[in-house]
Structure 1
Amino acid sequence: MKKWYNSIESAGTSFKGKVRQLRTLFESPKSLNYDSQSSSYSSSEDSCNHNFAKLRPVKSFGSDYYKDSWSVLESSSIRFPGTEDRVVVYFTSLRGIRRTREDCDAVRMIFRAFKVFVDERDVSMDAAYRKELQGLLGEKHVTLPQVFIKGKYVGGADIIKQLNESGEIRKILQMLPVRDRRFVCDACGDVRFLPCSNCSGSRKIFDEDEDVMKRCLECNENGLIRCPECCL
């Protein structure tokens, strides 16, 4: 080694050249080629990342996709006629799945903070709401919550949270009716349902003409009706 080093020094080679020649003694050709190829690797990796970004589906509904609040609604192809003046939230009040319940509560709290009227449709209280939602989305299995704003489908909890963080949700909710956030319906206590007045929630009524008990046709499977005071 000493003899070799002296010969290198006498030749007046640069320090970088010495290091390169030292590496030839202790490193394999494969490892020596790594430095020369690293730059090409990084450039190819950047290219892959760029191509992947191009391939990202539009239906991901990320907040970076929407440039403004107008595009959120205009990009939706699913319409809910008759609800152009409100926010409709399909959710569940059951605690069976923790993540689902947390998402439902988070979305409901976001809209309550803006004091807009929200038509909350609890699918666990009325199976007709689930069938209604399935028909709107054209899917048999749907996750909760799902939100419609001004008669147009927006999405689930993730997109609502993103729009809230970016501030776009405030623009979307402009021109919608508002109410005092302290308001609580005297009739139902904001539960949105009441026991059926026709059968008192029993789901059965007595038909005097036929002298038999029949199924009440005015309430749902739980013997409930929508509150006539706070539900439009």
Structure 2
Amino acid sequence: MMENLNVRFDCRDLNLCPAYYDELHNRMGIPVLVTDSNNNRFDTNSVWNSLPMIFVDGEYFGDEQTLNLLNETGELKRIFQPHIVVNNRTVCNKCHGFRFRPCQVCRGGKRSPLRFANLQFRCVKCDDNGIVACQDCTSSV
């Protein structure tokens, strides 16, 4: 829907980057995740039922139902008028529009090339999936 309106937006997948999940909790004022004895993180006040959530200029705007209702009445285009760009359909040359790419340090293997006494360390540049946010396209949003 946002692409059809030519609105410049940033879509953040909580499954792809754990930092996005923590950021969402901070923005919504929800307590931080609880960790159980097996070091698994879980949420007592789950936001998963409310996804997708839409934020405009960093403030909570609504959910999918709000977006659909405003689109049907024609208000959505008026509200997002300041965020409409003429050429919104550009694709990054480095990540090809995925906004993430394999880590350049470990090449997605999640292991640092540095060793100490035959111990190999985890790469500190990437996340648990061996990917990093593409700096070329995420810095412009």
Percent of pairs with identical residues: 33
Contact 1:192 1:231 in 2 (8 A): yes
Could you list the runs of 5+ residues in structure 1 that have no partner in the other structure?
Answer: 1-109
The structure 2 residue matched to 1:166, chosen from 73, 80, 94, is: 73
Q: 2:4 corresponds to which letter in structure 1?
A: A
Matched, 1:125 2:16: yes
- Specify which of 46, 59, 65 is matched with residue 141 of structure 1: 46
Aligned-pair distance for 1:115? 1.3
Larger Rg: 1
The alignment yields a C-alpha RMSD, in angstroms, of: 1.7
Note the C-alpha offset of 1:169: 1.1
Amino acid at match of 1:132: E
Q: Displacement, 1:227?
A: 1.1
Which structure 2 segments of 5+ residues have no match?
31-44
Q: TM-score, normalised by structure 2?
A: 0.78
Structure showing the higher helix proportion among its residues: 1
Other-structure match for 1:226: 133
Q: Is the 8 A contact 1:201 1:223 kept in 2?
A: yes
One-letter amino acid matched to 1:167: G
Distance 1:177 1:229, change over 3 A: farther
- Counterparts of 2:59 and 2:20, CA distance in 1: 17
- Residues 76-128 of structure 1: per-residue CA shift (max 9 Å, x gap): xxxxxxxxxxxxxxxxxxxxxxxxxxxxxxxxxx1101212211111111111
TM-score scaled by length of structure 1? 0.49
Aligned length: 123
Match of 1:206 among 113, 124, 140: 113
Task: Give the distance between the partners of 1:187 and 1:177, measured in 2 at CA.
Answer: 24
Greater share of strand: 2
Asked if 1:217 corresponds to 2:124, the answer is yes
